[in-house]
Structures are given as structure tokens and as C-alpha cells.
């Protein structure tokens, strides 16, 4: 397994829409393992393949306090969503930035597991937020796009300044 480089907002590759995975093979399984290792190391609670510049519909999440409930979702699709919650979100692709985002409180997501079997997950709270956040990445959206234009501009400026300082 190896750590993968995470793209940073506003990298245009984060806007690419991920393609459906037609065949779950050793390459996809290796990608999922590497993504999980990268997510845990970062540390984060979710990571989409788009964030590591692989444009396939694969996400890994672990919103558990014990960090031992890894879910790998291939071709995830939200079947149902209801309720409303506002949660402070952050993102491995937007380091150091946190803001409140409005999401569904409850979601039902259909996906394929690493063996290709169809599964569903019924999620509320933090797991529901995480799933919606990562599925957004697969659709070429970053959480800051849920914020006002002014906040987005401030975030871009902050990240550009950070990049200049570290360069």
C-alpha cells in the first residue's frame, strides 16, 4: 500500500466528473486500499478517488470514533434523502478551511462493495454528511461550492497565500 497525493482546491482536476466503475478488479481494490491508507494518515474521515486524481466512482469513509469501520463504496448513488442538518465541514483538498454546510440529515446510498455485490447503507448524522460530501467530489463539486461567493473568494485567496508561503 502507498500514500497518494491529494489534490488541493482550486485544482481544476477536482471539477472532473468521475466515471462509473464497470469492472471491480485488483486495480480498483488496490486503489481503495491506498485511498483508505491515505485517508487515515491525513487524517480524514472520507476520501473520493477524484481527490487523488483518479476519476472513477470510488469513495472510502470511516466516520467512527474508533476509526475501525471503513466503508468502501463503488458507484455510490443516493437513493433517498430527507431532513436537514447544518454541520461544520472540512476537506482534505481544502486544508485548514472549515465552514457550516447544509445537508440532508438522513440518506440511503446504494453502492457496490469490493466483491461487486450491491449493498445499501442507511446513514444519519456525521456518516450521512460524509457520504454526501464524498459523492459531491465524484460529481466534480467541492464543499466550498455550497458557500457564498464571498466566502469562496476568501478561501481561494487564503489558499493562494498559503501556497506562496510554502513555495
146 is in an annotated binding site: no
d(CA 85, CA 53): 30
106 is in an annotated binding site: no
Catalytic residue among 37, 65, 118, 134: 134
Residues 145, 146, 150, 155, CA torsion sign? negative
Question: Considering just the CA atoms, what is the radius of gyration of the chain in Å?
Answer: 15
φ and ψ at 56, to 5 degrees? -125, 150
d(CA 164, CA 56): 31
Active site residue 77: no
d(CA 23, CA 30): 13
Q: Which residues are annotated as a binding site?
A: 91, 133, 137
Q: Which residues are annotated as a binding site for Fe cation?
A: 91, 133, 137
Q: State the catalytic residues.
A: 134
Amino acid at each position: 500500500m502507498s500514500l497518494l497525493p491529494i489534490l488541493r482546491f482550486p485544482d481544476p482536476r477536482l471539477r472532473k466528473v468521475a466515471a462509473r466503475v464497470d469492472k471491480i478488479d485488483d486495480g480498483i481494490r488496490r486503489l481503495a486500499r491506498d485511498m483508505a491508507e491515505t485517508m487515515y494518515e491525513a487524517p480524514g474521515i472520507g476520501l473520493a478517488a477524484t481527490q487523488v486524481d483518479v476519476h472513477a466512482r470510488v469513495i472510502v469513509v470511516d466516520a467512527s470514533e474508533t476509526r475501525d469501520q471503513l466503508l468502501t463504496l463503488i458507484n455510490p448513488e443516493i437513493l433517498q434523502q430527507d431532513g436537514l442538518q447544518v454541520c461544520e465541514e472540512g476537506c482534505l483538498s481544502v486544508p485548514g478551511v472549515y465552514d457550516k454546510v447544509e445537508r440532508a440529515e438522513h440518506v440511503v446510498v446504494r453502492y457496490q462493495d469490493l466483491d461487486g455485490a450491491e449493498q445499501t447503507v442507511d446513514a444519519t448524522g456525521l456518516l450521512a454528511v460524509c457520504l454526501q460530501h464524498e459523492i459531491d467530489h465524484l460529481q466534480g463539486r467541492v464543499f466550498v461550492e455550497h458557500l457564498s461567493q464571498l466566502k469562496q473568494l476568501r478561501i481561494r485567496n487564503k489558499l493562494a497565500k498559503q501556497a506562496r508561503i510554502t513555495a
